[in-house]
A = this chain, B = another copy of it.
Amino acid sequence: MGYGRNSAVKLNRTFLVVTLGVVLLVGFTIGILIGHFAISKTPKETSQPQDKPSCGAACEEPDADCIFGKLVAKMKADNIKEYLRRLTSTPHLAGTPADLTNAEYVRDQWLEQGLDSAKIYSYDVLLSYPEADNLVQLLDEEGGVNFTCAVKEQGLRPGEDSPDIVNPFNAYSGTGNVTGDLVYVNYARDVDFDKLAEIAPDLNLTGKILIARYGKIFRGNKAKHAEHHGAIGLILYSDPADYGSKNATSVYPHSWWLPDTGAQRGNLHVSDHKGDPLTPGYPAKDYAYRTSVEDSPLPTIPVHPIGYGDAKMFLRELRNTYNIPADWKGDLDIEYNIGPGFIGTNRQVRMEIHTSNQRRNTYNAIGFIRGAVEPDRYVLLGNHRDAWVFGAADPSSGTASMLELSRVFGELVKEGWRPRRSIMFCSWGAEEYGLIGSTEWVEEFSKNLGARSVTYLNVDLSVGGTHVPEVASTPLLYKTLYRAARKVASPEEQGRSLYDIWLMRNGARGLPRIDDLGAGSDFLSFAYQIGVPCAAFTYSPESESGFSIYPLYHSVYETFYFFETFLDPAFRRSLAIAQMWGEVARDLADSVIIPFDCNDYAEQLELSIDDLKGHYESEMKKKNINFDAIDSAVSKFKVAANNFHVKIDNM
């Protein structure tokens, strides 16, 4: 997962466009469905009752519940565990030899598992690596070095000091050497800079180095904001308020909380959905034209992440010139201050950042099961393969679930089953650098994929918490997702379904909660570039816990040990996600009528417009923008959607 959960927050300036786009997309989708009916000539299957027991491997006549029963019977938690152990045995950063090695491993697994074909697609893209030790230092009055932040995270368990581990860095940071006064800017959001202007109107940020905590918004936007305000450098750190807990009595390796030496790696490229920075909108094949780095929207100032242990060394000495707002204070045991500069003598901060951009190859592996009746309609399942370090949760837990799911589908194919439509498994490279592998692939095949893809189903990390399934989706798929979740056993409580747990722990208005798709993983190009219905799911921590994501996210400590000890000891959650993923894919690939619910789409459109009105109606009225056109489009769509389902029901 490359972007924080909060990057899904709607931006004012794009929301209306997106909403209008949704209306159009839905129109297309309905068109595709109608086309589908025109083509499908097979007589309608009789539907199976929801509560019909699964027939397991012994059934004679394959039907929906029978295939799901076989999926469940064949799928093993222990296999997922062993896949995960293999995948996390070494770091597997995009653009390193492990990128290709693991792509080949996945491809070979698929061929062995019985998929009809499996291929690797290579792209030559701009990535970023630290070329030498990145230094963040506190200088004394004479410019001597008082303190230097740790260059590496401390190894706390065996293997965590492997030479293959990339030191913490922010991909696409500017390279350089800067010295200046330090200013604390909370999360470096627009609202934080607005607040700062209010409480410190005389504070000029030009020429300053800023320190901000991770969380709330995508880190790339923090860098953009810092640059915009004239800063010459940006230090990012993980505050315990966001990545730990006041109540925690221990940290990793004794619990899942972030230790003070842990630092969050992460990409700064505000990609605007274009993947590789040098080939915006078209595939990064080796012969393609490249724009110049200067023309791509990458940060120019040095940006670097540190642990909260080191951050404390700076923060605790910042000058108390201004009244700091209460909600700017994190959970370190210090008095938070803004600066500029430090108490007492004229000390400064120095950043010497060697992170630099490099062209490297990254690889997607694509596995294919040919559909029996409509081979040119695709149901795609995808997960990225690249990790900042060991990536036990992000993304290798998803890769492990996918490999077990493909193994079982492969077995079914060997036994003679074949889905009505084609199924494609996608293992993406360089997601962490800005969804690059998936975006380049979509750019290369946009026309066919846009015309033929029924749905793209993304699982980035399959387990990132122990609490509840977290699902985001196009409304067309809501009912399909619920139907699948009802069939899958709860990993928490025997005798209950995943649906039950989901509803109980994250319900809203009598239904399990489904979020809108954000921009956080590889579904993005499918959903927003080529208009394919998408869903994404994962097992999540409690959303009330106050942190944006599991604390060890993107640190060296995201190991197999961590995953097995704290996230999913019996691999039951990984298994539940794999089963749900498989059943949704089966339903979409194998049902005679694609199970999209257009009425849900209509309802969600109405709710979105209400939401838009709630936030902006009065402001828009002032500019003479009214809602007549979109209201009319939505109400017409509602009628069309309803008529469409009446037609289906009467078929």
A452 touches B (CB below 8 Å): yes
The answer to whether B375 and A28 have CB atoms under 8 Å apart is: no
Knowing A31-B448, A447-B28, A447-B450 touch, does A630 contact B376 (C-beta < 8 A)?
Answer: no
- Protomer copies: 2
The answer to whether A38 and B450 have CB atoms under 8 Å apart is: no
Most buried by B among A285, A286, A451: A451
Instruction: Tell me if A's interface is mostly helix, strand, loop or mixed.
Output: helix
Contact residues in B for A376 (Cβ distance below 8 Å): 34-35, 38-39
A33-56 interface code vs B (CB 8 A; 1 in, 0 out) = 011001101000000000000000
Give chain A interface residues in 7-47, CB to chain B under 8 Å.
Answer: 28, 31-32, 34-35, 38-39, 41
Knowing A287-B629, A630-B287 touch, does A374 contact B39 (C-beta < 8 A)?
Answer: yes
Contact residues in B for A38 (Cβ distance below 8 Å): 374-376
Knowing A39-B39, A287-B629 touch, does A448 contact B374 (C-beta < 8 A)?
Answer: no
The answer to whether B287 and A531 have CB atoms under 8 Å apart is: no
Number of interface residues of A (CB under 8 A): 23
Nearest to A40 among chain B residues (CB) is B39
Contact residues in B for A287 (Cβ distance below 8 Å): 628-630
Contact residues in B for A452 (Cβ distance below 8 Å): 35, 451
A277-299 interface code vs B (CB 8 A; 1 in, 0 out) = 00000000111000000000000
**A531 to B35, alpha carbons, bound, how many Å?**
20
**A34 to B422, alpha carbons, bound, how many Å?**
14
Contact residues in B for A31 (Cβ distance below 8 Å): 448
Nearest to A447 among chain B residues (CB) is B28
**A247 to B213, alpha carbons, bound, how many Å?**
84
A64-105 interface code vs B (CB 8 A; 1 in, 0 out) = 000000000000000000000000000000000000000000
Knowing A286-B629, A630-B287 touch, does A447 contact B531 (C-beta < 8 A)?
Answer: yes
Nearest to A283 among chain B residues (CB) is B24
Nearest to A21 among chain B residues (CB) is B282
A616-630 interface code vs B (CB 8 A; 1 in, 0 out) = 000000000000111
Contact residues in B for A34 (Cβ distance below 8 Å): 376
Give chain A interface residues in 538-570, CB to chain B under 8 Å.
Answer: none
Give chain A interface residues in 195-230, CB to chain B under 8 Å.
Answer: none
Contact residues in B for A531 (Cβ distance below 8 Å): 447
The answer to whether B630 and A28 have CB atoms under 8 Å apart is: no
Most buried by B among A31, A38, A286, A628: A38
Question: What are 7 A-B residue pairs whose CB atoms fall within 8 Å in the complex?
Answer: A32-B448, A34-B376, A35-B452, A38-B374, A39-B39, A41-B41, A285-B629
Besides A31-B448, A38-B376, A285-B629, 15 other A-B contacts (C-beta < 8 A): A28-B447, A28-B448, A32-B448, A35-B375, A35-B376, A38-B374, A38-B375, A39-B374, A41-B41, A286-B629, A287-B628, A287-B629, A447-B531, A450-B450, A451-B451
